[in-house]
Structure 1
């Protein structure tokens, strides 16, 4: 009897596709959701890595142009119409407010320093929102995917127990397929959650460093304007 049961278990197909096809509808839906979430997590990650790399390069290029000795008015005219980087947009926001504060006689409207600083702060906030857009999905996936997978596992095990009760057979050939299908849901949940958490922490730190670069530039630019005012 044991030999026959072992033979039946060995003949059973335990490939991932076979486990998915044998699963109940609810477990299949759970697996599809988790697989799609995992793909979307990596898609966001690759897009963010490319965006952050480009942002760092453009920030370095603009920083070199800013400190090259070129007059700020000329630099502003060159980038004002189509600022191509976050640093340029912060610079344009500050310079635009500076020029709006100039009177016809060349004097400045009082409070220009505070207005320029606020304009650049608003621009930096917008850039931070662009940088972190999509990261909430990574955080949500990392927090919920294990529980979604656990739900699929519980549902699958419950179905297996029902089949055991109806068949009256507790042999390995009857128990193993249902348990394997159920555990696959947990595995997919972890497959989605673990990279999501790691990538979220990495990308959040990269975004914070980029925002710090923009804030540092804004402080330096504000200092230059302060010297002009003095």
Structure 2
């Protein structure tokens, strides 16, 4: 074997070894690519969330290596947490508001001063309706009795006859009894008819005034409630609103949802004041008219009794004169 043939064989062997090494390298690269592709298909593409001012930015990479950037607006009170993790809005804790905003619920949540005002106004309203029921029944009975008395006295011929009929239960004998008593006391001076009538009229006038005082008893509370209830309710409202503003300063918030319940509780006091005052004024005016009508009836009855007294005195004087003329 010559030197040249040996050299040629060595060269061919080296080339074969180089080709084999290149084939192994290519196979390794292909296998690595297959593993990388399979793992990327199994796992999700990573994403990252970062904050850009008040709007978060979401950056994600898909299978092909493309980058996606998404910027979204978030509502107030929600928070984005974690990078590459699931994001969920979390509502921030707000002020705890009262659940019961009915009249009774607001009363229970009110300040003790406002509660005292409300209780007083409710009692005043109860007193108003109690006076209405009691005074209506009283006026109905008295007016009916006084009309019967007026009818009897108007149709009677003498004071004695009228008093006897009234004493049987057909009316009030208060005026006729007073007139009869004065006539008995003035028995020795009956010839002075004007003096007797003046004294009888004075007695009847005093009885009229007493009857007026009795019938107006209990109505003064209506005037008091009607005049003062709105101001008492306004005091409760001012106090409640003052406490609401103090609560605003302590909470350091101007949210209307925080302030509204306290203001509503305060305004409830004013509403109760009006509820107590308006019926009281209306009922007082109604009773004022009814009492005026009753006083007019008493006055008419008193005038009728005075006419009977004058008639009896005229008979007495005429009889005395007749006796004196016959003697």
TM-score between both structures, scaled by the size of structure 2: 0.62
Name the counterpart of 1:190.
274
- 1:108 corresponds, among 184, 190, 203, to 190
| Deviation larger for 131-140 or 11-20 | 11-20
Q: Does structure 2 conserve the Cα–Cα contact (< 8 Å) formed by 1:149 and 1:185? A: yes
Q: Structure 2: which 5+ residue stretches go unaligned?
A: 1-75, 78-90, 315-327
Q: Which has the higher contact order (CA 8 A, sep 6+)?
A: 1
Q: Does structure 1 conserve the Cα–Cα contact (< 8 Å) formed by 2:237 and 2:270? A: yes
- 2:184 corresponds, among 79, 82, 99, to 99
* Matches of 1:5 and 1:216, distance apart in 2: 78
- 1:49 corresponds, among 124, 136, 154, to 136
| RMSD of aligned residue pairs (Cα, Å) | 2.7
* Matches of 1:229 and 1:70, distance apart in 2: 13
Name the counterpart of 2:101.
14
Number of residue pairs matched? 224
Q: Does structure 1 conserve the Cα–Cα contact (< 8 Å) formed by 2:150 and 2:300? A: no
Aligned pair in 2 of structure 1 residues 179, 73: CA closer, same or farther (>3 Å)?
Answer: same
Aligned pair in 2 of structure 1 residues 109, 193: CA closer, same or farther (>3 Å)?
Answer: farther
Deviation per CA, 1:22-58: give whole Å up to 9, x if none. 1101000000111100100111111111111111111
| TM-aligned CA deviation for residue 99 of structure 1 | 2.4
Q: Does structure 1 conserve the Cα–Cα contact (< 8 Å) formed by 2:179 and 2:204? A: yes
Bigger fraction of residues in helix: 1
* Matches of 1:6 and 1:96, distance apart in 2: 84
Bigger fraction of residues in strand: 2
Q: Does structure 2 conserve the Cα–Cα contact (< 8 Å) formed by 1:6 and 1:173? A: no
Residue 127, structure 1, aligned to residue 127, structure 2: no
Deviation per CA, 1:73-94: give whole Å up to 9, x if none. 24435656x9996x53223222
Aligned residue runs from structure 1 range 155-166, under 5 A: 155-166=239-250
Q: Structure 1: which 5+ residue stretches go unaligned?
A: none
TM-score between both structures, scaled by the size of structure 1: 0.87
Aligned pair in 2 of structure 1 residues 224, 74: CA closer, same or farther (>3 Å)?
Answer: closer
Q: Does structure 1 conserve the Cα–Cα contact (< 8 Å) formed by 2:226 and 2:278? A: yes
